[in-house]
Structure 1
Amino acid sequence: MATANQRRRDTTLEPGVPTGAGNGIRSFLSRHPVVSYYMLVFAISWGGIVLVMGPGGMFSTGATMPVAGGALLTAGPSVAGLAMTVLVDGREGLRRLGSRLRRWQVGVRWYLVAFLTGPAVIGATTLGLSLAFHEFRPNFVPAADTFGIVVAGVALGLMVSLLEELGWTGFALPRLRRRFSVLATGLVMGLLWGAWHFPMFGGTTDPSGTLPNLLVVAVFLFAWLPPYRVLMVWVYDRTQSLLLAILMHAPISATTFVLAALGSEATSGIPLVAPVLIWAALLWLIVGVVAWANGGRLTHR
């Protein structure tokens, strides 16, 4: 018969030794935080879409997705990021997250890079194509309507970027950077970022039938988001500012919303994907110039 001391030793948890399902899960999260984070993001975002819209919701577009579906999709990165921060790092992790969110004294040049890179690339592409081909010209709307569209785009851009970057940059990026270069980190994050957007583009088709629908969706998801994320990682590597990452994300969300709202006649065939491919080419060119200017590397010395 076991003694009282033996029974006490058998039922006492040794520090650091996971026993039971709860501790086993926490141990897995601590050992694989990035994998766990992305699994949680996709479970929340895509699971929310299926819950609200059914399986067919995975093949929607930005125009057909209801507000509730878009809200659940966008909330995934931040909810997962905050939950993982608490589970893995506790209160100290939240404190560090808040510190990076409040870091704004990073130099004017970095604000210029954050605010202007996306709009400059998208704006230059739109202007160049509209001057060369009439089908790329945005539809003209009354000034009052244009002002309302711009205001809505700015508000949407800020909200979306805050919800996404609390997770993407707030949780995943610092952990990936401990193991990978700026380029590799940006590529991993960019490809997963593109895949995460699938429910907003899965239903995109080429009305003319010239291009396979799968190709159209792949271009929208993976052509330009990876190089832009590489630049975002590079900016964060130099500033360590989560606030700046949010401000760098916001302009591209706002600009793409405004252009989509204004629309154009170029909605099928090669013209459907041409702007996105040009964005990608220009962004990769910028990545190359930045690397060349830093002696062939993006990583902060």
Structure 2
Amino acid sequence: MVSVRNAGRNSESDDTKDTDSGVSSGGGVNRSAGVSPPGGGALGGSDGTESVGGAEDAAAVETRERGEAVGRRAMPREVALFVTCVGDFAASGPARAAVTVLERMGVRVTVPKAQSCCGQPALNSGFPVEAAALARHWVEVFEPHPAVVAIAGSCAGMTVHHYPRILDGPWRARAEAILDRMWEFTRFVADHGENLALRTAAERTVTYHDSCHMLRNLRERDAPREVLGRVEGLELREMRDPDICCGFGGTFAVKFPEVSTAMADRKLRQVHDTGATELVSADSGCLLHLDGRRDASGETTPRACHVAEILRDALPREPR
């Protein structure tokens, strides 16, 4: 098991590509699946499609081995919750649910009030200087805390992949030190929440959507499915293409609304075909996008909810 920083440092992705996920069933990186080299993407000049094949190079081996060592750490007793802009301004439910789950695991949760945007919208819009200013603020906010848990794979992917590229010198070193002790929420629960008693009050059927950044940047496919699989009475029905973009892509949905809407409709048709009553993801941005499109189209199902909300609902009630 690996921390978010080491789970996929050597990959880049395009929010809207219909590509293979490049994730092995064991949570590692499939090196032959079109992973672009370091330095590609928005700041490096690569279009993100160059394929890398063959054996792991020395740097990749070092990253993987370091990640495995990091993943064997004991559960921290205190974490700071990285809420994200969506969690702060548009959808606080997942963050509140995550606090409940983490506290039930015996973890003390702090929510730093000074946290702000991670800088992803600015960087995606072509403003790396402004994004770096926000990154430095993020470092100052989370640096004092012993560990960090991120509630959204997309924002975690921003910190993991782009902070080391837009920050220089001491700022980069400080950021990387935090990333070595940061988890994406479902990975934290998968690693340390195996003793949680999880059971639904009534049978529930869900289908899971892999967000682009969580799957392709963090290389995280297994953790959300693992924790959902621990919930007694919950059935996970996989849609045909769970790894294809929903059309959100942050600013992409604003710049290309017609394309974004068509992609959302395609995703919702696949969700409908599963017969599931709930659409689940670990990224609130995707859920907001798909829920909004569902409402606009007049559909009543499926209800969109975060993995944290599913787990919170499955916890036994505490005695009064």
TM-score by length of 2: 0.26
* Larger Rg computed on CA atoms: 1
The structure where helix makes up a greater share of residues is 1
